[in-house]
């Protein structure tokens, strides 16, 4: 009986290996006749001059021809090159042995060393957890930044957007969070970064202490659009793997804007119409799929920090607007505060943590609300105070805001390598209100 089954399987097996062939290369895309493949499958393009096949992915079809996008720069591909389908989507090797490593979008070590043994294959594209299997966010997580822990408390499994223009301190803030956070593991995705900044971030911002409990995924700005998109998916997949093991994971992605720009390049190359500010419809379909994968699940949590690069400090540009609508809070880094020497330059009044009420005690929330009120009162009357038009004694609330203003400014400042626990930050804030600072 068993032997018959084997013979039947042999009779039904297709012993021919079918290849396609390259017809043309236009810009970012490669068009081929065959082989049979589905969207998202990885194909290998064999060149006569290059012994190593070029990995590419099926991104579309055109009159029964396959549209491929390569994971590497295309230099040695010509008409007639053979195209072989692997029949599988992209997967990367993940395991505890990766902790402390710096890898590329395909999960290969950037320093050309071999991957450690004992890793398992994991698909980079996964579905978000079922909404009913997500545990509610009920515990705070220590970020290690005074301004955040005290006034914008983050919960385990929360997803936060860090919105800022260029050069206002996003990478420095991410480095502080990576070193000071109480999470078990950091997964850091540097997407579309300048090549120069990668090593600087790892050595200066992250440091040896941060790297010991981190995995860094790098896709620099010179790499093809597909590699930059896959960098975001790989970093998210690594986070999901550790979340499924029950770890508390921090995912930090710098920046989600560059992922959107890479998706726009792919969309335009495959013939999608440009819509808002040239972004294609697939960009706005991809962002929720990517961002919803993080958060809580039955086993563990991924607390995610996504940086959003706002062009010309315009907070309402399409990507910033879309991301802000999906995430559970946003921190705004203000160029004016940075120019005044306040680091981290978080504008507390424009920032919000949507789960702070669920994870903080009433005493903590009352103290945070009082400080916000003092800051808002000072901000509203700032012009009158600066030009000397306000006379002390006219309004008790304004007088109080003026006297507390320098103390609050001092409290919000923090040195790059200064370490503060969540409890210390909350105690300092309460001492400030009681006149102890």
Token pair in block for residue 242: 């550790």
Contact 230, 266 (CB under 8 A): no
Contacts of 350 (CB under 8 A, 6+ apart): 332, 334
CB 331 within 8 A of CB 162: yes
Provide the pairing of β-strand 65-70 with 295-296: unpaired
What is d(CA 97, CA 128) in angstroms, rounded to the nearest whole number?
25
Give the Å distances, CA to CA, from 77 to 53, 56, 268, 290. Answer: 10, 12, 22, 32
User: Which residues have CB under 8 Å from 159's CB, separation 6+?
Assistant: 291, 294, 295, 303, 304, 306, 326, 327, 328, 329
Peptide bond into 422 cis (omega under 30): no
Domains of the chain, residue spans:
18-89, 92-356, 363-434
> Would you say domain 18-89 falls under CATH 2.40.30.20?
yes
The reported pTM is 0.91
In 3D space, the residue among 403, 367, 430, 432 whose CA is nearest the CA of residue 395 turns out to be 403
Q: What is the pLDDT of residue 219?
A: 95
Q: Under a CB-based contact definition with an 8 Å cutoff, are residues 300 and 133 in contact?
A: no
Give the pLDDT confidence of 300-355 residue by residue, as tens digits: 999 999 999 987 667 778 999 999 999 999 999 998 999 888 899 999 999 999 99
State how far the Cα of 379 lies from the Cα of 371, in Å rounded to an integer. 12
* Residue 135, both tokens: 């545990």
Whole-number Å distance between alpha carbons of 236 and 251 = 7
Burial of 318 per CB tally in 10 Å (0-12, 13-18, 19+) = middle
Rounded-to-integer distance, Cα 151 and Cα 141, Å = 13
Instruction: Report helix, strand or coil for 2.
Output: helix
Instruction: Report pLDDT for 151.
Output: 96
Residues in Cβ contact with 348 at an 8 Å cutoff, skipping those fewer than 6 apart: 147, 151, 152, 372, 375, 412
> At 365, phi and psi to the nearest 5?
-65, -40
> How high is the pLDDT of residue 405?
93
Long-range contacts of 259-262 (CB under 8 A, 24+ apart): 259/191, 259/192, 259/228, 259/229, 259/231, 259/232, 259/286, 259/290, 260/286, 260/287, 260/319, 261/192, 262/191, 262/192, 262/225, 262/226, 262/228, 262/229
Give CATH for domain 92-356: 3.40.50.12240
Considering only residues 4 and 359, tell me which one the structure prediction assigns the higher pLDDT. Answer: 359
CB atoms within 10 A of CB 27: 8
Query: Which pLDDT tens digit goes with each residue over 139-177?
Result: 999 999 999 999 999 999 999 999 998 888 888 899 999
Residues 38-60: tens digit of each pLDDT: 899 999 999 877 778 889 999 88
Q: Which CATH class is domain 363-434?
A: mainly alpha
At residue 374, the pLDDT reads 95
Residue 205 has pLDDT above 60, yes or no: yes
- Residue 437: per-residue pLDDT: 54
pLDDT of residue 240: 96
Same fold for the pair 92-356 and 363-434: no
Structure tokens at 163: 């919105």
For 435, how many CA atoms within 13 A lie in the half-sphere containing its CB?
A: 2
Provide the pLDDT for residue 312: 67
Q: Which residue, among 345, 255, 348, 258, has the nearest Cα to 306 in the 3D structure? A: 255
Cβ–Cβ < 8 Å for 165, 313: yes
Per-residue pLDDT for 7 more than 80?
Answer: no
Give, to the nearest 10 degrees, the angle between helix 422-433 and helix 396-412.
Answer: 150
Q: Which pLDDT score, from 0 to 100, does residue 75 have?
A: 77
Q: What is the pLDDT of residue 74?
A: 78
Pairing relationship of beta strands 159-164 and 91-94 according to DSSP bridges: unpaired
């Amino acid at each position: 009986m068993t032997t018959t089954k084997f013979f039947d399987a042999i009779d039904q097996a297709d012993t021919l290996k079918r290849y396609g062939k390259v017809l043309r290369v236009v810009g970012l895309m490669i068009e081929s006749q065959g082989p049979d493949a589905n969207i998202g499958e990885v194909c290998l393009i064999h060149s006569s001059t290059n012994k190593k096949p070029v990995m590419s992915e099926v991104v579309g079809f055109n009159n029964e021809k396959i549209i491929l996008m390569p994971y590497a720069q295309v230099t040695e591909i010509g008409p007639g090159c053979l195209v072989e389908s692997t029949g599988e989507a992209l997967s990367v090797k993940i395991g505890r042995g990766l902790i402390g490593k710096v890898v590329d979008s395909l999960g290969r070590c950037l320093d050309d060393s071999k991957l450690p043994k004992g890793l398992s294959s994991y698909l980079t594209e996964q579905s978000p957890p079922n909404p009913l299997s997500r545990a509610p966010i009920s515990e705070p997580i220590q970020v290690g930044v005074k301004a955040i822990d005290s006034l914008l408390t983050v919960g385990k499994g929360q997803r936060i957007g860090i919105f800022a223009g260029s050069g206002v301190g996003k990478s420095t803030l991410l480095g502080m969070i990576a070193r000071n956070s109480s999470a078990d593991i950091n997964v850091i995705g540097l997407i579309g970064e300048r090549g120069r900044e990668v090593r600087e971030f790892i050595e200066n911002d992250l440091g040896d202490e941060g790297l010991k409990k981190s995995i860094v995924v790098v896709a620099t700005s010179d790499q093809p659009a597909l590699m930059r998109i896959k960098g975001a998916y790989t970093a998210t997949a690594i986070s999901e793997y550790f979340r499924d093991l029950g770890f508390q994971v921090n995912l930090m992605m710098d920046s989600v804007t560059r992922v959107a720009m890479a998706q726009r390049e792919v969309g335009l190359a495959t013939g999608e119409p440009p819509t808002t500010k040239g972004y294609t419809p697939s960009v706005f379909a991809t962002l929720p799929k990517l961002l919803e994968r993080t958060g809580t699940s039955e086993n563990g949590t991924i607390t995610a920090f996504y940086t959003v690069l706002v062009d010309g400090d315009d907070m309402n540009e399409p990507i910033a607007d879309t991301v802000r609508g999906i995430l559970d809070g946003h921190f705004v880094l203000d160029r004016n505060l940075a120019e005044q020497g306040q680091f981290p330059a978080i504008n507390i009044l424009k920032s919000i943590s949507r789960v702070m009420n669920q994870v903080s005690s009433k005493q903590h929330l009352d103290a945070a609300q009082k400080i916000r009120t003092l800051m808002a009162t000072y901000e509203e009357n700032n012009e009158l105070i600066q030009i000397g038009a306000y006379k002390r004694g006219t309004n008790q609330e304004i007088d109080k805001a003026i006297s507390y203003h320098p103390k609050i400014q001092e409290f919000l400042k923090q040195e790059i390598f200064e370490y503060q626990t969540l409890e210390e930050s909350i105690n300092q804030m309460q001492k400030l209100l009681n006149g102890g600072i």
